[in-house]
Structure 1
Amino acid sequence: MSMVKADRPALILVDIQKGFEDIAYWGGQRNNPDAESRAHELLTIWRDNGLPIFHVQHCSTTLISPLHETNAGNQFNELVAPIDGEPVIKKNVNSAFIGTDLQAQLDKAGITTLVIVGLTTDHCISTTTRMAGNLGYKTFLVTDATATFNKKGIDGQNYSAELIHETALASLNNEFATVVTTDIIKQNIL
């Protein structure tokens, strides 16, 4: 792995919001219940080292969605809530780069390396990671600081959250990003 603190990598926390605590709404099963805790560990390291941090907040356009701005689920999980001075990027599509100024902020700050964590692996994490890779950023995706929910296939078959998570990561690894663990990031950033 090639990343050091001197690279000033940005931590991108995607959609770690209270609405994702409603597991029944999202499919009834979720993998990696410690994802928010792992993201919190990394956020603490970034804050302690004065490294760039960007919080991404999904603002659904669907009124009944827990992530709609009028619903309490739109709020950030307390473990990773932004503090003063940390940018919040609001989006309403899967990619944190579409319809936002994230790329402009990263480029203005001279940031070329990204560490991505958050929810959900196969939706906003995957889309944001793919775009980051396509835009030329050196991108690291943290497997144990991401999570997703089970999905129904087109034939009605239920696919487990862990299978969806692992398949999404396999599609991204070494193509759009380097998939790593929290411990690997911690060993390389300190």
Structure 2
Amino acid sequence: MNEHAIEIAPDSALIVIDVQKGFDDASFWGPRNNPAAEENIAALMDAWHASDRPVVLVRHASVRPGSVLAPDGPGHAFKHLVEERRGDAPVITKTVNSAFYGTPDLAEWLTARGIGQLVVIGIQTNMCVETTARMAGNLGYDVLVPLDATHTFDLAGPAGLSLTADELATATAVNLQGGGFARVVTTAALLAASRARP
């Protein structure tokens, strides 16, 4: 990975996924990783606003009974760091993992503006961030994922299998870049690239 080769398009869209208060409920989610995620998300939002690049906010409205992300609960709201930087950014509401299956339609919004490059950040690394990045790659977008501007939680699977949040994040990095869906980069590299106007 050569981060020195990163070029950020003048209209590169920052897709901020599910940075919602419900994810602060440790009793619901369990242990998380990357405590610096929110700081990096805020820095990228500030950089995109400063360079007049588009920002899109995505919010999950869970249909699962008892979810802390239910649309009628306090956990549905954006975290303060996003709300205070919201501006006039469009908000896409979804009930599944991919931001491309939400309302309003993300692909239509991007196509109407001729946007071909996406930077995908937010929560959770291996769920909505990875799913959105995979689908964006399939749709032909140039996708960048700064893994340090995401976080996730430990997760149990079948037959007693489980992975820590850090292990899941590593798997996401391998899946996305190794699978050709996206380039996995760092927040610092994107911040530097965002200041280099073409």
Q: Do both proteins adopt the same fold according to a TM-score greater than 0.5, normalized to the shorter chain? A: yes
- Return 133-142 or 93-102, whichever deviates more: 93-102
Is the contact made by 2:92 and 2:102 (CA closer than 8 Å) also made in structure 1?
A: no
- 1:11 alignment partner in structure 2: 14
2:181 is aligned with 1:176: yes
Letter in 2 for 1:30: R
Amino acid at match of 1:69: P
Count the aligned residue pairs.
188
Counterparts of 1:170 and 1:9 in 2: how far apart (Å)?
23
Which aligned runs of 4 or more in structure 1 are off by greater than 3 angstroms?
none
Q: Distance in 2 between matches of 1:166 and 1:92?
A: 25
Instruction: Give the aligned CA root-mean-square deviation in angstroms.
Output: 1.3
Give a deviation string over 1:2-36, Cα, whole Å, max 9, x none: 42353x1000000010000012211x210001111
Question: Secondary structure of the residue that 2:121 maps to in structure 1?
Answer: strand
1:79 is aligned to 2:84: no
CA shift for structure 1 position 135: 0.5
Are the equivalent residues in 2 in contact too, given 1:121–1:169 (CA < 8 A)?
A: no
Q: Which residue of the partner structure matches residue 116 of structure 1?
A: 120
Equivalence for 2:106: 102
SS in 2 for 1:173: helix
Structure 2 residue ranges without an equivalent (≥5): none
Q: Does the residue aligned with 2:169 lie in a helix, a strand or coil? A: helix
Amino acid at match of 1:62: R
Question: Which amino acid counterpart does residue 146 of structure 2 have in structure 1?
Answer: V
Matched residues in 2 for 1:53 and 1:98: separation?
A: 18
Is the CA contact 1:4–1:188 (under 8 Å) kept in the aligned structure 2? yes
- The residue number in structure 2 matching 1:167 is 171
d(CA) in 1 for partners of 2:139, 2:9:
22
Once the two structures are superposed, the pairs formed by residues 41-60 of structure 1 within 5 Å of their partners are 41-60=43-62
SS in 1 for 2:159: coil
Counterpart in 1 of 2:141? 137
Q: Distance in 1 between matches of 2:159 and 2:8?
A: 46
1:142 alignment partner AA: P
With over 3 angstroms needed to count, the CA separation of the structure-2 counterparts of 1:58 and 1:186, relative to structure 1, is same
1:68 positional shift: 0.6
1:84, CA displacement in angstroms? 3.6
Alignment deviations for residues 105-149 of structure 1 (CA, whole Å, 9 cap, x no partner) = 011011100001001011101110000000100000011001110
Query: 2 CA distance for matches of 1:180 and 1:99?
Result: 26
Percent of matched pairs sharing the same residue: 40
CA contact (8 A) 1:36 1:80 kept: no
Instruction: Provide closer, same or farther for how the CA distance between residues 147 and 36 of structure 1 changes in structure 2, counting only shifts above 3 A.
Output: same
Give the structure 2 partner of residue 89 of structure 1. 92
Rounded Cα–Cα distance in structure 2 between residues aligned with 1:122 and 1:59: 18
